[in-house]
C-alpha cells in the first residue's frame, strides 16, 4: 500500500493502523456493552414485571380442616 515511503514512515503507518483498529474496536465494545445492558434490563422488566395471578382451586367435596388457634 505504501510504495514510496521510507521504512520509518511504513512503521508509523502500521502503528497508526493498529491504534486505529484498537480505537474502533474499543468504541464498538463500549457501545455494545451499554446496548446489551439496556436489552437485559428491558428483558428482565418484561419477563419479571407485571401482575402476578394466583389461582386457588377449592375442593368443595371435602370439608375444610378445623383450625385450632
pLDDT confidence band for 63 (50 / 70 / 90):
low
Cell of 15: 502503528
Grid cell digits, residue 68: 385450632
Range of the domain at 48: 1-61
More confident call, 36 vs 59: 36
The overall average pLDDT reported for the chain is 86
In a domain, 67, yes or no: no
What local confidence, expressed as pLDDT, does residue 61 receive? 74
- Strands (E) in 1-69, as ranges, are none
Instruction: For the chain, report the end-to-end CA distance as a whole number of angstroms.
Output: 90
- At 23-41, the pLDDT tens digits run 999 999 999 999 999 999 9
Q: How far is CA 42 from the centre of its chain?
A: 10
Residue 11 lies in a domain: yes
* Residue positions counted in the chain: 69
pTM above 0.85, yes or no: no
Q: Are 30 and 38 in contact (CB under 8 A)?
A: no
Closest CA to 16 of 29, 2, 28: 2
Asked if residue 17 belongs to a domain, the reply is yes
Please tell me the total count of domains within the chain.
Answer: 1
Amino acid at each position: 500500500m505504501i510504495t514510496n515511503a521510507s521504512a520509518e514512515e511504513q512503521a508509523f503507518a502500521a502503528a497508526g493502523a493498529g491504534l486505529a483498529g484498537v480505537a474502533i474496536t474499543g468504541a464498538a465494545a463500549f457501545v455494545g456493552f451499554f446496548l446489551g445492558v439496556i436489552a437485559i434490563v428491558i428483558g428482565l422488566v418484561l419477563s419479571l414485571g407485571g401482575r402476578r395471578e394466583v389461582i386457588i382451586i377449592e375442593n368443595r367435596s371435602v370439608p375444610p380442616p378445623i383450625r385450632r388457634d
